[in-house]
């Protein structure tokens, strides 16, 4: 008996973007197989990984369309009412809020593992999605009519292979697609801290001298702490005993939220931005971090990943409706064009901001302060950034 499976779409990597892709393609009527390296228990119930994802309005609508939003408990969704940006001891924050926008929230914060759980829960009930955990891809052969994916459990022949295997995507490398890799030389530590004073649903991004701190509101009297420092300083903090850690963090945040207490595990992410030279090859498309791995400072990575897979799904479903081929080259070219347009400037801009705000020399500090002062006074700029933060564009087909 042959163990070759036939499918319209094979998704490599069952992270949040891979699962969202599978759901939108399957809801459009295609058969989808998702190959995920992690074992089933970790895939279906991922543990807390420190990331709180700031979701835009558009992303929430896309998660609703996938069916995943209904599986995310409302108790873990925290509305974001205001975002404040400060630099050094310069006490003139740049603020963005919902005033005049006709909405209650700029966006919503949800932890990454809750998003992943919601997507997995939605995917496991779709009859035309096959979930294959504990599966390592060995080779991919992209032929004229289909791509053959050889993996540890057998072979899948697919009309289209979607690489959603993260920013160091082995599939991208296998396909010989290079990438711009920007190493920021910093690490980011993320964890949850309970605190004495309320956060009022305000997110703070503070570019202090020698450190960058973000405090992101989560439900209850708690915030997600996001601290960026050189890797060796982060290493020391991660291994610091709890009491000393609490005291150190209160000192670093300038006692803004009263007494603080660590209430989660601590997680470290080395900061590297990645932008693939191409997003497509024959019968192959890159989505999520495999295509564009953003610096988290502007909170765009997953939002752009969702947007990209939405563009891909629309193009592929339209092509299937026309001529029946999910790997249609014209559809892939259209996806490439649109996704590049949606991401190229943001990627460059985010890298520029991240670099400007991690240098403390005199010209950088003055430029930062000047930028904040000007930006706060220039209403059209604030309006444009607020729109970008919320991303309220319609997403219905």
Ligand X SMILES: Cc1cc2nc3c(=O)[nH]c(=O)nc-3n(C[C@H](O)[C@H](O)[C@H](O)COP(=O)(O)OP(=O)(O)OC[C@H]3O[C@@H](n4cnc5c(N)ncnc54)[C@H](O)[C@@H]3O)c2cc1C
Q: What is the 3-state secondary structure (H, E, C) of the chain?
A: CCCEEEEEEEEECCCHHHHHHHHHHHHCCCCEEEECCCCHHHHHCCCCCCCEEEECHHHHHHHHHHCCHHHCCHHHCEEECEEEEEECCEEEEEEEECCCCCCCCCEEEEEHHHHHHHHHHHHHCCCCEEEECCCCEEEEEECCCCEEEEECCEEEEEEEEEECCCCCCHHHHHCCCCEEEEEEEEEEEEEEEEECCCCCCEEEEEEECCEEEEEEEECCCEEEEEEEECHHHHHHHHCCCHHHHHHHHHHHCCCCCCCEEECCCCEEEEEEEEEECCCEECCEEECHHHCEECCHHHCCHHHHHHHHHHHHHHHHHHHHHHHCCCCCHHHHHHHHHHHHHHHHHHHHHHHHHHHHCCCCCHHHHHHHHHHHHHHHHCHHHHHHHHHHHHCCCCCCC
Question: What's the closest the beta carbon of residue 297 comes to ligand X, in angstroms?
Answer: 9
**Total residues in contact with ligand X, by rule CB under 6 A:** 33
Question: What's the closest the beta carbon of residue 305 comes to ligand X, in angstroms?
Answer: 5
The contact pattern for ligand X, residues 147-186, with x = CB under 6 A and - = no contact, is -----------------xxx---x----------------
Please say whether the beta carbons of 37 and 138 come within 8 A. Answer: no
Choice between 244 and 263, CB closer to ligand X? 263
The answer to whether residue 137 forms part of the interface with ligand X (CB under 6 A) is yes
Question: What's the closest the beta carbon of residue 35 comes to ligand X, in angstroms?
Answer: 5
Question: What's the closest the beta carbon of residue 366 comes to ligand X, in angstroms?
Answer: 29
Interacting span for ligand X (CB under 6 A) from 83-91, 194-202, 299-307, 374-382? 299-307
The answer to whether residue 30 forms part of the interface with ligand X (CB under 6 A) is no
The answer to whether residue 37 forms part of the interface with ligand X (CB under 6 A) is yes
* Alpha carbon of residue 383 to chain centroid: 23
The pair of structure tokens assigned to 111 is 């932890």
Question: What's the closest the beta carbon of residue 287 comes to ligand X, in angstroms?
Answer: 7
Choice between 27 and 307, CB closer to ligand X? 307
The answer to whether residue 286 forms part of the interface with ligand X (CB under 6 A) is no
What CA–CA distance (Å, rounded) separates 260 from 227? 15
The answer to whether residue 16 forms part of the interface with ligand X (CB under 6 A) is yes
Choice between 14 and 328, CB closer to ligand X? 14
User: Among residues 15, 28, 133, 308, which is the contact residue for ligand X, using CB under 6 A?
Assistant: 15
Question: What's the closest the beta carbon of residue 265 comes to ligand X, in angstroms?
Answer: 13
The answer to whether residue 297 forms part of the interface with ligand X (CB under 6 A) is no
The pair of structure tokens assigned to 84 is 């404040």
The answer to whether residue 300 forms part of the interface with ligand X (CB under 6 A) is yes
Question: What's the closest the beta carbon of residue 324 comes to ligand X, in angstroms?
Answer: 28
Choice between 54 and 250, CB closer to ligand X? 54
The answer to whether residue 63 forms part of the interface with ligand X (CB under 6 A) is no
Closest listed residue to residue 10, CA positions, set 165, 121, 124, 116: 165
Question: What's the closest the beta carbon of residue 316 comes to ligand X, in angstroms?
Answer: 18
Question: What's the closest the beta carbon of residue 318 comes to ligand X, in angstroms?
Answer: 23
Interacting span for ligand X (CB under 6 A) from 46-54, 340-348, 371-379, 387-395? 46-54
Per-position b or e across 184-202, b if 16+ CB within 10 A of its CB: bebbbbbbbbbbeeebebb
In the region spanning residues 80 to 119, those forming contacts with ligand X, defined by CB under 6 A, are 112
Rg (CA), the chain: 22
The answer to whether residue 299 forms part of the interface with ligand X (CB under 6 A) is yes
Choice between 320 and 347, CB closer to ligand X? 347
The answer to whether residue 54 forms part of the interface with ligand X (CB under 6 A) is yes
Question: What's the closest the beta carbon of residue 356 comes to ligand X, in angstroms?
Answer: 19
User: Among residues 7, 25, 31, 36, which is the contact residue for ligand X, using CB under 6 A?
Assistant: 36
Q: Which residues are near ligand X by CB under 6 A?
A: 12-18, 35-38, 51, 53-54, 112, 136-137, 164-166, 170, 188, 190, 269, 288-289, 296, 299-303, 305
């Amino acid at each position: 008996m042959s163990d070759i499976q036939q499918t319209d779409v094979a998704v490599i990597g069952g992270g949040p973007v891979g699962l969202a892709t599978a759901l939108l393609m399957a809801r459009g009527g295609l058969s989808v197989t998702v190959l995920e390296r992690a074992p089933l228990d970790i895939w279906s119930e991922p543990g807390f990984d420190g990331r709180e994802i700031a979701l835009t309005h558009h992303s929430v609508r896309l998660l609703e369309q996938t069916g995943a939003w209904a599986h995310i408990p409302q108790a873990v969704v925290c509305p974001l009412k205001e975002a404040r940006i400060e630099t050094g001891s310069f006490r003139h924050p740049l603020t963005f809020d919902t005033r005049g926008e006709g909405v209650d929230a700029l966006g919503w914060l949800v932890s990454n593992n809750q998003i992943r759980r919601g997507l997995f829960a939605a995917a496991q009930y779709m009859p035309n999605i096959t979930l294959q955990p504990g599966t390592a891809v060995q080779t991919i052969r992209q032929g004229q009519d289909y791509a053959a994916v050889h993996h540890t459990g057998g072979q899948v022949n697919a009309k289209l292979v979607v690489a959603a295997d993260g920013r160091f995507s082995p599939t991208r490398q296998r396909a010989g697609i290079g990438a711009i890799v920007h190493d920021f030389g910093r690490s980011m530590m993320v964890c949850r801290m309970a605190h004495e004073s309320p956060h009022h649903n305000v997110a703070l991004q503070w570019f202090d001298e020698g450190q960058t701190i973000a405090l992101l509101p989560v439900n209850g009297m708690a915030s997600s702490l996001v601290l960026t420092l050189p890797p060796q300083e982060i290493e020391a903090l991660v291994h610091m005993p709890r009491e000393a850690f609490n005291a150190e963090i209160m000192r670093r945040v300038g006692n803004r939220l009263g007494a603080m207490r660590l209430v989660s595990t601590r997680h470290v992410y080395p900061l590297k931005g990645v932008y693939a030279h191409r997003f497509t090859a024959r019968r192959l498309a890159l989505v999520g971090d495999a295509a564009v791995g953003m610096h988290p400072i502007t909170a765009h990575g997953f939002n752009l990943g969702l947007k990209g897979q939405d563009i891909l799904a629309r193009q592929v479903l339209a092509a299937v409706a026309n001529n029946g081929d999910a790997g249609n080259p014209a559809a892939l070219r259209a996806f490439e064009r649109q996704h590049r347009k949606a991401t190229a400037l943001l990627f460059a801009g985010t890298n520029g901001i991240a670099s400007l705000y991690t240098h403390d020399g005199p010209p950088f500090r003055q430029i930062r302060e000047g930028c904040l002062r000007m930006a706060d006074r220039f209403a059209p700029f604030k309006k444009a950034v607020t729109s970008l933060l919320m991303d309220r564009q319609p997403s219905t087909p």
